[in-house]
């Protein structure tokens, strides 16, 4: 691609700087999933809680790293949210981005969530 050079949209043929025009540009599954998660779980309250957790513990729970810190919400956080309860600090853990990715998702339907549910009974 050359900036400023228009090419036909692969779907409709309309001129566009990208392979597809804005009307036909598809979001990736990951982008769609993240947007849905942001609109449900990651609201302003979540961001405040995340910031507070990282201020209280400036290192990764799993490996001790001090950079690229994120807040991993445990399966209990999703359960609380689905039940109309607030997510609290005890429902999150501070971990670096690589460790958070290694842990995997904790939302309902994920292996991690199902294992947590099975352990509750």
For the stretch 30-77, pLDDT in tens is 556 566 555 555 678 888 999 999 999 999 999 999 999 999 989 999
Total domains present in the chain: 2
Average pLDDT, the chain: 84
| CA gap 70, 51 in Å, rounded | 9
| CA gap 50, 3 in Å, rounded | 39
- Say yes or no: 99 and 48 in one domain: yes
Is the model's pTM score more than 0.75? no
pLDDT band at 92 (very low <50, low <70, confident <90, very high): very high
20 lies in which domain range?
11-40
- Say yes or no: 31 and 56 in one domain: no
| CA gap 55, 71 in Å, rounded | 11
- Say yes or no: 57 and 92 in one domain: yes
Half-sphere exposure of 45 (CA within 13 A, CB side): 11
Q: Region 77-88: what's the mean pLDDT?
A: 88
| CA gap 25, 37 in Å, rounded | 21
pLDDT band at 102 (very low <50, low <70, confident <90, very high): very high
Residue-level pLDDT at 35: 61
pLDDT band at 13 (very low <50, low <70, confident <90, very high): confident
């Amino acid at each position: 691609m050359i900036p400023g050079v228009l090419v036909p949209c692969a779907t409709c043929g309309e001129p566009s700087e990208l392979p597809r025009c804005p009307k036909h540009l598809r979001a990736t599954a990951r982008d769609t999933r993240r947007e849905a998660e942001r609109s449900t779980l990651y609201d302003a309250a979540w961001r405040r809680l995340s910031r507070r957790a990282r201020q209280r513990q400036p290192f990764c729970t799993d490996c001790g790293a001090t950079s690229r810190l994120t807040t991993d919400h445990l399966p209990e956080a999703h359960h609380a949210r689905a039940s109309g309860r607030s997510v609290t600090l005890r429902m999150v853990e501070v971990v670096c981005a690589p460790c958070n990715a290694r842990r995997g998702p904790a939302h309902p339907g994920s292996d991690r969530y199902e294992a947590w549910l099975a352990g509750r009974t």
